[in-house]
Structure 1
Amino acid sequence: MSKNIRALAARCLYAVVDQGRSLSQELPKQQALVESGKDKGLLQEFCYGVLRYLPELEHHVRQFVKKPLTGKQRVFHFLMIVGIYQIKYTRIPDHAAVAETVAATAILKNRHLKGMVNAVLRNFQRLDSTELDDSVAEPVRFNHPGWLIKKLKAGYPEQWQNILTENLQRPPMWLRVNQQKTDVEQYLTLLEDVDIAVKYIAPVSNAILLEQAVDVTKLPNFADGWVSIQDGAAQAAAPLLSARSDDNILDCCAAPGGKTCHILELTPDIKAMTAIDVEPERLVRVEENLARLGLTANVIAGDAANPIDWFDGELFDRILLDAPCSGTGVIRKNPDIKWLRKASDIDNLVVLQQQILAAIWQLLKPGGTMIYATCSILPEENTMQVSRFVEQNADATLATIDMGQDAKDWQILPGQDSMDGFYYAKLLKKS
């Protein structure tokens, strides 16, 4: 098969948007068909970019295609979108974008649509302006589904537009230094030696924000486990948990294992670390991360809502519950979330979170600490969820979080200090 990057992007986007498949699963399949690292990067740029601006790009297609493509022709809808994305949002010369996108029609085995694809792209080129005015519907203007805009307006009446804008940005690159291999100051020197610029050091977690993203192979001693890639917000979990020597710790819903590893890096002399996740295939990443960093944990495939299947009876001193959630705080790095999630999913996730909270709470020792975390920004998954839990459990209290602020819980919004959207609450179990 020819390696026309536009054709591969159209197929990937069709699988994600129309068939509901995850970008993290589909993109690697298409990238495996090309050899050049540059082409792999370009393919990723097309797919991520289109998913960020999907409603806007579809709006432009509808300006020229009055009858939507269906069935086997549907992939050509996404091919035209890929073409328009290149013209509007990349530095690729228009003539090259049009030519390569039109050439992809042969690869996708429908040459008779060549004329339509060519006409749409050339007509788009001729537009005096591609800017959207206020008369365009909000989902198109803000490039988010209507249900999510409605929820953000309700939860953040003063900030919702800023959240939507931040969600369209490219995610920055944060590093976590492995304290068992080196320290932050030494690693900053190594970065300076290879001309990798640092923008910011988080004051509590010592997370390192780079000026711009780099390939991990360029990071000093990455393969030897000196450093990991982890967002600044996620790096707050381990300091908040405050593990101590001889603690028995559970990381619940642990895959891909970044927080498990961070806890072990900060407190290597804990009694035991158990990491569970309901999806066995995702635990492969946990094992890989532990191995690269030279760390050890008891990794178990298990359902957090049904501990009876895996719990050995020894209660935990501290539990990190990174609960399944909508992922609405990490849309910058996972733009497919906007199109894979539905409003009804949120109600189902809230119920699942309640079930897991109730089940895992029983595994915590009296006097123990649980950190409840999500990568969501929706109040029903976060503040409302925790408030309900505390009201329903007389042995649970909500502790103040000391992360540069005095608050009962901590909602980080997308882009705040360059971090992902994230939520933390610290629950203490009465003795």
Structure 2
Amino acid sequence: MNPKLSRARAVTALQVLKEALAEVLEKGYPADAFLARKFRMEKRFGSKDRRYIRDVIFSYFRWRGAVLEAFPENSEPSVPAVAAALIAENFPMEQLSGWLELGDIDLEKAEKSLAGETALERIGLFSGKEISAESVLPEWTRGELDPRFAEWFQKRSCIWLRSDKKNLPELLAVHGIEIIPHERVPQAFRCLNQNVNLYDLPEYRSGLFEVQDFSSQCIGLMCSAQPGEDWLDACAGAGGKTLQLLSMMQGKGKLLSSDVSGTRLEELKKRAERLGLKLRIETHDLTKPLPEHLHDRFDGVLVDAPCSSSGRWRRNPETRWQSSRERVMEFAALQEKILENAAKAVKPGGILVYATCSIFTEENENQVEKFLNFHFDFALDENGCILLSNKKSGMLRVSPWDADCDASFAARLRRKQLPEDALPPQR
């Protein structure tokens, strides 16, 4: 690359990164949304520029904790810190040269740093400091999480597909796309290609597969929805699990999708129509009581509750720096209300599945334990929960190292019938 062009690109990327830090860290804006708006408003960026800027920004957010530990004395974002993040990601020297010139950084030093075996070792060689493994996580989480999270959250996210078509690998191989099924969940296929656009494929447009992370698919499988059943997806959101439940019922059941956002539900309805699936939608705020006509009605209720989304820190690295202990506890209080209200829709003998994409106990096991302490008519249900091991349990945690995926949690509860005098007082 032309040295002047390389330096100019670095200057531009640094300016966009400064804007991103203000929007993302100070205002809580998603990095993806910020970049989409930036590129839409400023047409001067070509496709190569957009990809380069995107790679720089997400590399920085991914390694932000480590490079700030390496260069704490510099104001953020400093050129050495950005260069360290790019070295951690093994950027080619032609893309690094502009940053080296911009920061008056020795070329030989950068070349020696690139020889490090691991990303943290490369940052350490570049900064002359030993960098801790936990530096990639928010300070308030350090010492609390399984150390494997620090390793796995730094890896690029993998793409997972969901399909009932056993011959899907052969169909996609025609397009040069390689997928392999999970050994225990045959409907889940891991895509081995990077930077591939699956949404333009005729197989996707015709409904032969959906793009859905493995951890999300496991939540749907915990529901074990059967043909002929009546289900409520209480916090449907984008609707990946709604579509999964409809598929599991093979067109012979009923499903009501509810969400606080009517716009999201309309988009979900369009997705279902593309697949030829019938879907009912209703807008409900689950922080408030459900209407009486929905009480004691459903064979199953899925509560995929709003959460810290910490299980997706690998996929959205900027969100770890937007998080806080206080925010987790705010979500926990919200989840408690939603679970309390949604549970009233489960009929006696029915199933209640509580799920999050959080890695924190406060949003997961603690939430379920609290609920069971006040609802003697519910109990953990072990049926249909053997997914990642042969051990039966009413609760499931999926971690990135289980299947190269995001993290999630799910608990499967069954409502039993108890005499009224055996029930605890309602809160």
Task: Quickly name the TM-score band, shorter chain normalised.
Answer: 0.7 to 0.9
Aligned to 2:424: none
Question: In the TM superposition, what is the alpha-carbon distance from 1:121 to its structure 2 partner?
Answer: 5.2
Q: Give the Cα separation in 2 of the matches to 1:257 and 1:38.
A: 33
What amino acid sits opposite 1:57 in the alignment? V
Aligned match of 2:321? 339
| 8 Å Cα contact 2:237-2:265 kept in structure 1 | yes
Distance 1:258 1:299, change over 3 A: same
Report Cα offsets for 1:212-236 as digits up to 9, x if no partner: 3322146452122221111112112
Q: Which residue of 2 aligns with 1:172?
A: 158
Aligned-pair distance for 1:6? 4.8
Select the residue among 231, 234, 250 that pairs with 2:232.
250
Matched-pair identity in %: 23
TM-score (norm 2): 0.81
Query: Alpha carbons of 1:336 and 1:282: their partners in 2 closer, same or farther (altered >3 Å)?
Result: farther
Which residue is equivalent to 1:389? Answer: 371
User: Paired residue for 2:190?
Assistant: 209
| Secondary structure class of the residue paired with 2:243 | helix
Does the CA-based 8 Å contact 1:411-1:422 persist in structure 2? yes
Matched, 1:17 2:1: no
* Matched-pair contact (CA < 8 Å) for 1:409–1:425: yes
Structure 2 partner of 1:143: 136
User: CA, structure 1 residues 335+131, in 2 after alignment: closer, same or farther (shift >3 Å)?
Assistant: closer
- Give 1:357 deviation, angstroms: 1.1
> How many angstroms does 1:187 deviate by?
1.4
Shift of 1:309: 6.0
Once the two structures are superposed, residues 365-384 of structure 1 have per-residue CA deviations (whole angstroms, 9 ceiling, x without a partner) of 11110111111121222122
- What's the counterpart of residue 86 of structure 1? 86
Q: From the superposition, tell whether residues 30 and 373 of structure 1 become closer, same or farther in structure 2 (CA, over 3 Å).
A: same
Q: Equivalent of 1:7, from 6, 15, 20? A: 15
Tell me which residue corresponds to 2:398.
412
Q: Which residue of 1 aligns with 2:269?
A: 287
Name stretches of at least 5 consecutive residues in structure 1 with no aligned partner: 70-76, 102-116, 153-159, 178-182
Gaps (5+ residues) in structure 2? Answer: 1-7, 114-121, 418-427
Letter in 2 for 1:85: A
Query: 1:114 aligns to what?
Result: none
Alpha carbons of structure 1 residues 268 and 121: separation in structure 2 relative to 1, 3 Å? farther
Task: Please say if residues 61 and 120 of structure 1, whose CA atoms lie closer than 8 Å, have aligned partners that are also in contact.
Answer: no
Contact 1:151/1:378 (8 A) holds in 2: no
CA shift digits 1:254-291 (9 cap, x unpaired): 11110001111221434421112223444354234223
The residue number in structure 1 matching 2:51 is 41
Per-residue CA distance 1:71-124 (angstroms, 9 max, x = gap): xxxxxx266644443344243325x5453x6xxxxxxxxxxxxxxx95535258
- Relative distance call for 1:206 and 1:308 in structure 2 (3 A) is closer
Match of 1:30 in 2: 38
Contact preservation (8 Å) 2:220, 2:241: yes
Q: How many residues align?
A: 390
Residue of structure 2 aligned with 1:50, choices 27, 36, 60: 60
Structure 1 residue 274 and structure 2 residue 256: aligned?
yes
Q: TM-score, normalised by structure 1?
A: 0.80
What is the aligned partner in structure 2 of residue 231 from structure 1?
Answer: 213
Question: Aligned AA for 2:152?
Answer: E
Task: Give me the whole-angstrom Cα distance separating, in 2, the residues matched to 1:314 and 1:123.
Answer: 70
